[in-house]
Amino acid sequence: MRGEPLLLRCRLLLPCASCSPLTGVAVYVEDGRIGYIGDGPPAGAKRGAVVDCPRYAVAMPCLYNAHTHAAMTLLRGFHDDSELHEWLERMWHVEKRVTPDVAYHASLLAVVEMASTGTCGFMDMYFWPHETLRAARELGLRARLGPVIMGDVDPYKAVEEAVRFARSLQGDPLAGGVVNVHSIYAAPLEAVREGYRAAEELGVPFHIHVSETRREVYEAKKRFGKFPVELLESLGALGPRAVLVHAGWIASWELEAVRRAGASLVHCPTSNMKLATAGSFPLYEAMESGVNVALGTNGPASNNSLDMIREAKTGLLLQRHSYWDTRVKARHLLEAATRGGARAMGVRGAGAIEPGAPADILVLDLSRPWSLPLRADNLASALLYSAAGGDTLYTIVDGRPVYTPENRERLWSLAERSAEQLNRFLERIGEGRDPEPPCSPPQACSR
């Protein structure tokens, strides 16, 4: 439920990634929308909550994590230094034993972390989405989620389950459905084709891992005679609803196909480096050609953080390392972390602080020594190179403060109690390896 009207007064405001900072302004919020930006409240403004920022606080658009597996907080720090395929087998051993209660506590830990680090919304691909939805609702974050389709499933039944879940969320002001197909190699191709068709019909994102590894690209070419994005296009699964995650091994002509289709790409730099998947995400070429680029952390088992400010800095530095020059600027990664993520998730008009936009606002306290000296002319640099998610003072979603100095200790206590539950679960099941991935959704599994 939307809260009372809100007046936010900050000395520094960055309205959007490429905007010039504003100084000494007030932002008035009513009915979940930004109504006014100026010297003070507008004439006739309703009385409500007032937030006066400290001297070195900065208000900016909130962050959107366009790709994660939230409940994988369960597996944070689990075999961090394994090679990818051994790592996967260790994950699968645990994931096949996850219960709804475990998924809830893992998701609650994740959403507390995201709220605490300035993320207003996330797009999730994992098991037991009802439990992740429950956790997101408890804190008031935006979520786009649905059952993940993977393994030995009946593709038509699997898509039916995704459709059923998405329809159950129609009209929800904060949550929405997603058709999650794991990949072209871990799900039937019929699920890819039917999943995209369903996403178009429902008006929700079609969320899929694509061209994450060199092995995936080679095997797609060997099996189907096409690279992964080419295969999606041939299946009718490349269009404006498509959200393609990773794309570190995408070819130049595939990028052009993404542009023509109006699809989105999601860059997950930390995870790609941690899992040594290599490749080179073409951020600059994609953004300059008009492709919507978003930023994601991937899951907490392969990152291990859900801090989107940290992710933006890592992405910026990795891009410069890959290009051997500084063509990628701070504004590119800020754009991907804000407006780009909102577009990929389908949160209309979000990603900027402007009249009429959803009131999703992040306030950072940059009074710490590592962010000073702070001035309006070095604001973007302070945000990308010096700040961290832990500097978050307020996270405001749909006009409602969901993370504040007043509720911080309570939320962190909830996270700690959930973490204790997760540790007990891991101790009970022990370690192991499983060469076969889990099957999902369970209602559509062949056995």
- Tens digits of per-residue pLDDT, 383-414? 999 999 999 999 999 999 999 999 999 999 99
Domain match, 287 and 240 both: yes
Give me the residues paired with residue 68 across strands: 124
Q: Can you tell me the mean pLDDT for 414-421?
A: 97
- Mean of all residue pLDDT scores within the chain: 95
Confidence (pLDDT) at 44: 72
Number of domains in the chain: 2
Specify whether the CB–CB gap between 233 and 220 falls below 8 A. no
| pLDDT above 60: residue 1 | no
Residues 375 and 340 in one domain: no
Alpha helices in 212-365 (DSSP H): 214-224, 228-234, 252-261, 269-274, 283-288, 308-323, 330-335, 341-345
Tell me how far apart the alpha carbons of residues 119 and 97 are, in angstroms, rounded to a whole number: 29
Q: Do 25 and 300 meet the contact criterion of CB atoms below 8 Å apart?
A: no
Place of tokens 């009970």: 428
The predicted-structure confidence for 13-47, as pLDDT tens digits, reads as follows 999 999 999 999 999 999 999 999 998 777 777 88
In a domain, 430, yes or no: no
Residue environment code for 150-172, b if the CB has 16+ CB neighbours within 10 A, otherwise e:
bbebbbeebbbbbbebbeebeee
Same domain? 189 vs 312: yes
Q: What is the pLDDT, as a whole number, of residue 349?
A: 95
Are 45 and 119 in the same domain?
no
Give the integer Cα–Cα distance in Å for 379 and 15: 12
Residue 154 in contact with residue 447, Cβ under 8 Å? no
Question: How far is Cα 158 from Cα 380, in angstroms, rounded to an integer?
Answer: 44
- Label residue 84 by pLDDT band (50, 70, 90): confident
Among 299, 171, 192, which residue's Cα sits nearest to residue 246?
299
> What CATH number corresponds to the domain at position 143?
3.20.20.140
Amino acid at 151: G
**Which of 305, 327, 345 is the endpoint of a domain?**
345
Residue 411 lies in a domain: no
Say whether both 254 and 295 belong to one domain.
yes
Give me the pLDDT at residue 446, please: 79
Predicted confidence band at 355 (pLDDT cuts at 50, 70, 90)? Answer: very high
Q: What pLDDT sits at residue 40?
A: 75
Structural domain of 25: 6-61+353-404
* Same domain, residue pair 44 and 116: no
Based on the domain organization, do 23 and 40 belong to the same domain? yes
Residues 6+ apart with CB under 8 A from 354: 15, 16, 34, 37
Residue 167 domain-assigned?
Answer: yes
Residue 86 pLDDT > 90: no
For residues 149 and 231, membership in a common domain is answered with yes
d(CA 101, CA 104): 5
d(CA 346, CA 204): 7
Residue 352 φ/ψ, nearest 5 degrees: -150, 150
- Please write the tens of the pLDDT for every residue from 323-352: 999 999 999 999 999 999 999 999 999 999
Q: Considering only CA atoms, which of 164, 343, 191 is closest in space to residue 264?
A: 343
Q: Which of 347, 383, 270, 307 is nearest to 118 (CA)?
A: 307
Q: Within this chain, do residues 25 and 130 fall inside the same structural domain, yes or no?
A: no
Is the same domain home to 169 and 241?
yes
Question: Is 445 a domain residue?
Answer: no
Type and span of the H or E element at 116? helix 100-116
The distance of Cα 438 from the centroid of its chain, to the nearest Å, equals: 23
Give a yes or no: residue 431 inside a domain.
no
pLDDT the model gives residue 194: 98
- Does residue 39 sit in the same domain as residue 69? no
Last residue of a domain, one of 388, 404, 420: 404
Residue 98 pLDDT: 96
The predicted-structure confidence for 304-316, as pLDDT tens digits, reads as follows 999 999 999 999 9
Q: Are 113 and 59 in contact (CB under 8 A)?
A: no
| Residue 418 lies inside a defined structural domain of this protein | no
Tell me, yes or no, whether 34 lies in a domain: yes
Name the pLDDT band for 79 (thresholds 50, 70, 90): confident
pLDDT at 48 over 90: no
Contact 90, 431 (CB under 8 A): yes
Q: Is the dihedral of CA 432, 436, 442, 445 positive or negative?
A: negative
Element (H, E) at 175: strand 175-177
Same domain, 52 and 96: no
Higher pLDDT, 79 or 60: 60
Q: Is residue 446 part of a domain?
A: no
Specify whether the CB–CB gap between 190 and 156 falls below 8 A: yes
Distant-in-sequence, close-in-space partners of 102: CB < 8 Å, separation ≥ 6? 71, 74, 421, 422, 425
- Residue 57 belongs to domain with CATH number: 2.30.40.10
